[in-house]
């Protein structure tokens, strides 16, 4: 047990079971099927683990994960998690605010975006060779999104270390955006001036925008985003209405004041 403290930012909805959270994953580095990550991620070496932090920061360098974790206080954040495929879960993450790390390495004034990359290690990740995506998996946030208190780097769930299939040893969680923004098994963080390239946007720019905020009024071209199936009800899993910003509008709507979210989808 990690002994993570509670957070006022947690939802009081009932979390999905560990079994549900760790057996139904999109992590294409291990295969396309949602059971593939749980099947193959065991082979992933997560210790030692280093994260290269660079770009417009005062203290660039390769940081050992253990060094990053000394000095941060881990807390539990129970967040709704909405996949772009129109299913959702409630997940008790353990992590710390991304802002804490960014402040520690010193963000320089010119930085406007944060870019992230996932590990590419074909000998441990059987999906890499299949070439489903243009590796490494890339994601990005605008700096104000990255600094929002809701945005965390998660190292565990259910008060235990992160299962490998969920993105061990450390992943991003951005609860008001579609799940694919919450990049897994991070090895690189760069502060940059220009909007970075992101994997799904590179593959299908018409279908996946940079922002990818959960938005029931802006449909994915191939399916509706108006509602979602809440995983966990088995055969009769209820379909529920999708909320704007996945229900986190109070904390994040102001980030997008003046933006047309149908344009900046």
Among 122, 237, 254, 259, binds another protein (CB under 8 A): 237
**Which residue bears the tokens 């905020």?**
213
CA distance 242 to 255: 20
Among 13, 160, 219, 264, binds another protein (CB under 8 A): 219
Among 2, 34, 126, 251, binds another protein (CB under 8 A): 34
Backbone angles phi, psi at 160, to 5 degrees: -130, 160
Question: What is the smallest separation between the CB atom of 232 and another protein, expressed in angstroms?
Answer: 7
CA distance 15 to 21: 9
66 contacts another protein (rule: CB under 8 A): no
Residues 196-215: x/- map of binding to another protein (CB under 8 A)?
-------xx-----------
Nearer CB in complex with another protein: 34/142: 34
Is residue 204 classed exposed, middle or buried when 0-12, 13-18 and 19+ CB atoms within 10 A define those classes? exposed
Which residues are within 8 A (CB) of 109 and not within 5 positions of it... i.e. 6 or more apart? Answer: none
23 contacts another protein (rule: CB under 8 A): yes
- Restricted to residues 75-134, the positions that interact with another protein (CB under 8 A) are 85, 87, 132-133
Question: What is the smallest separation between the CB atom of 107 and another protein, expressed in angstroms?
Answer: 33
Backbone angles phi, psi at 128, to 5 degrees: -60, -50
Nearer CB in complex with another protein: 33/67: 33
**Which residue bears the tokens 């441990």?**
124
5 contacts another protein (rule: CB under 8 A): no
Among 8, 234, 258, 260, binds another protein (CB under 8 A): 234
Among 5, 6, 13, 19, binds another protein (CB under 8 A): 19
DSSP letter at 223 equals B
Among 61, 226, 259, 262, binds another protein (CB under 8 A): 226
Question: What is the smallest separation between the CB atom of 222 and another protein, expressed in angstroms?
Answer: 6
CA distance 91 to 180: 15
> Under a CB-based contact definition with an 8 Å cutoff, are residues 164 and 44 in contact?
yes
> Under a CB-based contact definition with an 8 Å cutoff, are residues 102 and 30 in contact?
no
Among 5, 6, 13, 32, binds another protein (CB under 8 A): 32
CA distance 10 to 7: 6
Alpha helices in 70-142 (DSSP H): 98-105, 126-130
| Contact footprint for another protein (CB under 8 A) | 16, 19-20, 23-24, 28, 32, 34-35, 85, 87, 132-133, 203-204, 219, 221-224, 226-227, 229, 231-232, 234-239
């Amino acid at each position: 047990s990690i002994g993570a403290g509670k957070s006022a930012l947690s939802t009081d909805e009932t979390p999905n079971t560990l079994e549900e959270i760790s057996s139904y994953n999109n992590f294409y580095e291990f295969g396309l099927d949602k059971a593939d990550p749980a099947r193959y991620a065991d082979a992933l070496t997560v210790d030692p683990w280093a994260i290269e932090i660079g770009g417009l920061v005062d203290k660039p360098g390769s940081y050992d994960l253990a060094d990053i974790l000394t000095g941060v206080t881990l807390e539990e954040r129970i967040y709704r998690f909405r996949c772009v495929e129109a299913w959702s879960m409630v997940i008790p993450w353990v992590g710390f605010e991304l802002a804490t790390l960014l402040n520690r390495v010193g963000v320089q004034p010119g930085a406007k975006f944060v870019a992230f990359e996932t590990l590419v290690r074909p000998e441990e990740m059987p999906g890499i060779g299949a070439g489903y995506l243009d590796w490494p998996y890339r994601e990005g946030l605008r700096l104000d999104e990255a600094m929002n208190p809701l945005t965390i780097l998660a190292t565990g769930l259910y008060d235990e270390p992160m299962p490998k299939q969920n993105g061990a040893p450390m992943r991003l969680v951005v609860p008001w955006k579609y799940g694919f923004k919450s990049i897994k098994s991070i090895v690189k963080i760069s502060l940059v001036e220009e909007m970075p390239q992101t994997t799904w946007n590179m593959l299908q720019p018409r279908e996946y925008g940079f922002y990818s905020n959960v938005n029931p009024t802006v449909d994915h071209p191939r399916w509706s985003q108006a509602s979602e199936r809440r995983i966990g009800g088995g055969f009769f899993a209820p379909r529920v209405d999708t909320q704007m910003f996945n229900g986190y509008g109070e904390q994040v709507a102001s980030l997008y004041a003046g933006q047309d979210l149908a344009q900046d989808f």
